[in-house]
Amino acid sequence: METRIEIKLTDITGERVDAIVNAANTSLLGGGGVDGAIHQAAGPELLEECRLMHGCPTGGAKLTRGYRLFAKYVIHTVGPVWQGGKHNEDELLADCYRNCLKLAQEHGIKTVAFPCISTGVYRFPIERAAAIALKTIDENLAGSGVEKVVFVCFDEVNHRAYLDRV
């Protein structure tokens, strides 16, 4: 089964998919950027559930419900903070995409939207992050049962970085 890959320039909170991925921090207690937007759109119950998760390690992923979002689930993942490239950042970013797909498979999630993890506050180089995202998803889709992956960009630079690689 061929998985659909879409690249969009939009706000991820409006995506009509089974799960949207949140670029969270290790506390899982919310923040700015896409984390703030998702909590804002999902409503206060999301934070209540997150409080029960006891955080998430960098590269890890945890699932919650989506509450007021269209998406049934939110997959919270914690990207690496860019520290120059010699602190295993590439591998940890790849772990985010791998672990999100693993959770999607475990929960029968068929359509999932990813933001550009780590490319905001965490300052991961944009082209490098796009290449890792596309490669990791491509390498891990087989057997996942996922039918559609949407890469949601929020700015033109990220959008261009994805469009130039597909």
Residues 39-78 that bind ligand APR (CB under 6 A): none
Number of chain positions touching ligand APR (CB under 6 A)? 26
- Are 76 and 64 spatial neighbours (Cβ–Cβ below 8 Å)? yes
Query: Which of 155, 156, 164, 166 touches ligand APR (CB under 6 A)?
Result: 155
Sequence-distant (6+) residues with CB within 8 A of 138 are none
Query: Does residue 99 belong to the site contacting ligand APR (CB under 6 A)?
Result: no
Query: Which of 79, 89, 132, 159 touches ligand APR (CB under 6 A)?
Result: 79
**At closest approach, how far in Å is the CB of 15 from ligand APR?**
9
Check the CA dihedral 144-138-92-151 and report its sign.
Answer: negative
**At closest approach, how far in Å is the CB of 62 from ligand APR?**
14
- What are the CA-CA distances from residue 107 to residues 16, 19, 65, 157 (Å)? 17, 10, 12, 33
Query: Does residue 156 belong to the site contacting ligand APR (CB under 6 A)?
Result: no
44 vs 150: CA distance, rounded Å: 26
- What are the CA-CA distances from residue 157 to residues 60, 127, 142, 154 (Å)? 26, 9, 29, 9
Q: Which is nearer to ligand APR, 101 or 126 (CB)?
A: 126
Most distant pair of Cα atoms in the chain: their distance: 40
Instruction: Indicate which residue of 18, 35, 95, 164 is catalytic.
Output: 35
Which of 67, 166, 2 minimizes the C-alpha distance to 151? 166
**At closest approach, how far in Å is the CB of 4 from ligand APR?**
19
Identify whether 35 is a catalytic site residue: yes
Enzyme catalytic residues: 35
Binding site for ligand APR (CB under 6 A): 11-13, 23-25, 31-37, 79, 115-122, 152, 154-155, 158
